[in-house]
Amino acid sequence: MAVPVAALCCLLPLLPTVALPGVPRWLGSPVDWPKVGLLGFLHGCWESLAQGLPTPCQRLVRRLLRRPVPAERAPVRPGVNAFFPVLFAGVLMLPPAAAAFVAVPAALLGGPGGRHYRQRQLWNGSQLALSAFAGAVAFHLLRGPQLLLGSRFPAALLPGLAALVAFCLVNGVLVGVMLMLSEGSRADVLLRGACTVCGLPVLVHAAGGLMVAVLWQGPYGTFAALLALLPLSISAWVFAQGHRERDAHQATVQALVQAVEIKDAYTRGHSERVGRAAVLIAGQLGMEAERLRTLRFAAILHDVGKLGVATELLRRNGPLTDAERRAVEVHPVYGYELVRGIAFLGEAHAGILHHHERMDGRGYPSGLAGEQIPEFARIISVADAFDSMTSTRSYRRGRPVAEAVAELERCSGSQFDPVMVRALIGALAVHDWQPVLPAPTGECLRAVPDIPLGVPEPVRAAPGRVPARGGSVPSAGQP
């Protein structure tokens, strides 16, 4: 509640009957209410259009007619997704309290739907109001309004830049604090939160807001300022379309993973952890952001081909025949066939198909060796084996991280790419990795000996039989 209360205090100078001791009058007066109302309306409308949501007018009409308002996808994100040029123009043209008020109507009439949406609306409005208030205070303290009215450039750029920094700093810190409190994130998320609302897109949209303010207060008036918003609104809409497309990609991947986990409880949570380990490896290699995102999809979907394998084989804890094991080992091909029509996966297709290949050429399905194996597949191979070794299953206990790393090093060069193994070791030195513990069932784990990864050890089994998945640590050469 501290943030909404602080935002409410920022709005108090708007009340003409309230005289706060020690508070300068320029924080809230004089107020051009038609300008405040128009900016608030534009901010709400353009923000909704940019995110593909109903505008405040549409929502109000639906509520008056008692028609259901469609559920929306996500809370307003900080930065350019909230239609920043209009909000920043208010920061430059209005007193601080009025600039804070511009953000309120959009948050209360639009914003996120779903569970607890009122609380999220209150948070979004308060967060943006505080950020706008801080930016406007910085602008006024540096005599920005006088420089802007006289169009004294480049002198007016310094107060504008200070206003932008203050806005982004307050916004980023609030986002970071929210993540720390709601998700238990570490304190360094504060810095990352501030960084998420800074960068070239914010600078471009801030320049757009400056242009709107100059035109609005110049000889051409409001109409010219509204025309200047047209290309900016198209830019914001395209930006939001990209976010919606990425959200759709994530939903597609999650649906496939859930289908696999329903069929094979062994993989429950395994896919996400392999995705995390693969990202850690790629981060050490300096992989660019777009490829890293595709790699994460490939790692999460690496076992999607199990949808084409008989459920009885996946759930069996007893031994498999040679024919049954070959039926399980075809799952990378099934996975590739399932996802090859999904265009956004791109390079992930090869990672899914070849994640069980070995550096010595003894893997499957194609028997590739060395550099013939795609980079994504070599990364996923290490991530898959590492999580398999450190995860506790119903039939064996997980190994400590140090022991799993030692096993990866032992098999480096024969089964795993040494570069990827070293990258994982380097990432584990920086990032914490906790082995997966068993669910508290009260039952003792069965004592099943592990077969080390790499070159297969002698098998003590009946002729014509091979150990099942329950009899060894799953490796990149095993299903």
Calculate mean pLDDT across residues 340-346.
87
Q: Is residue 75 pLDDT above 60, yes or no?
A: no
Categorize the per-residue pLDDT at 439 as very low, low, confident or very high, splitting at 50, 70 and 90: very low
Cα 62 from Cα 417, distance rounded (Å): 59
Q: What is the pLDDT of residue 377?
A: 95
Domain with CATH 1.10.3210.10 in the chain: 264-471
Cα 248 from Cα 258, distance rounded (Å): 15
Residue 189's Cα: distance from chain center in Å? 13
Q: Among 254, 201, 259, which residue's Cα sits nearest to residue 80? A: 201
Cα 178 from Cα 190, distance rounded (Å): 9
pLDDT tens digits, 152-180: 777 778 888 899 888 888 887 887 777 66
More reliable by pLDDT, 393 or 185: 393
Distance (Å) of CA 272 to CA 35, 70, 73, 374, 387 = 49, 31, 22, 21, 10
Min mean pLDDT across 191-205, 232-246, 323-337, 375-389 is at 191-205
Instruction: Count Cα neighbours of 238 within 13 Å in the Cβ-side half-sphere.
Output: 7
The count of residues in the chain is 479
Min mean pLDDT across 43-52, 130-139, 393-402 is at 43-52
105, 38 contact by CB (below 8 A): no
Other C-beta atoms closer than 10 Å to the C-beta of 403 total 13
Cα 451 from Cα 458, distance rounded (Å): 9
pLDDT tens digits, 217-267: 777 777 777 777 777 667 667 766 777 777 787 788 878 887 777 776 666
Q: What is the mean pLDDT of the chain?
A: 74
Residue 391 DSSP class: B
452, 410 contact by CB (below 8 A): yes
pLDDT tens digits, 82-97: 467 888 888 888 888 8
Evaluated on CA atoms 202, 205, 209, 215, the torsion sign reads positive
Cα 479 from Cα 468, distance rounded (Å): 9
Contacts of 56 (CB under 8 A, 6+ apart): 41, 44, 45, 48, 105, 106, 109, 110
80, 236 contact by CB (below 8 A): yes
3-state SS, residue 155: coil
> Which residue type occupies 276?
R
Distance (Å) of CA 226 to CA 32, 44, 45, 88, 256 = 18, 14, 13, 14, 45
Min mean pLDDT across 209-213, 372-376, 399-403, 405-409 is at 209-213
What's the token pair of residue 8? 């409410």
444-449 contacts, C-beta under 8 A, 24 or more apart: 445/392, 445/394, 445/395, 445/396, 445/397, 446/394, 446/395, 446/396, 448/395, 448/396
Cα 479 from Cα 461, distance rounded (Å): 18
pTM of the model: 0.57
106, containing H or E segment: helix 96-109
Cα 4 from Cα 126, distance rounded (Å): 5
CATH placement of domain 264-471: 1.10.3210.10
pLDDT tens digits, 198-209: 666 677 778 888
More reliable by pLDDT, 479 or 395: 395
Other C-beta atoms closer than 10 Å to the C-beta of 218 total 13
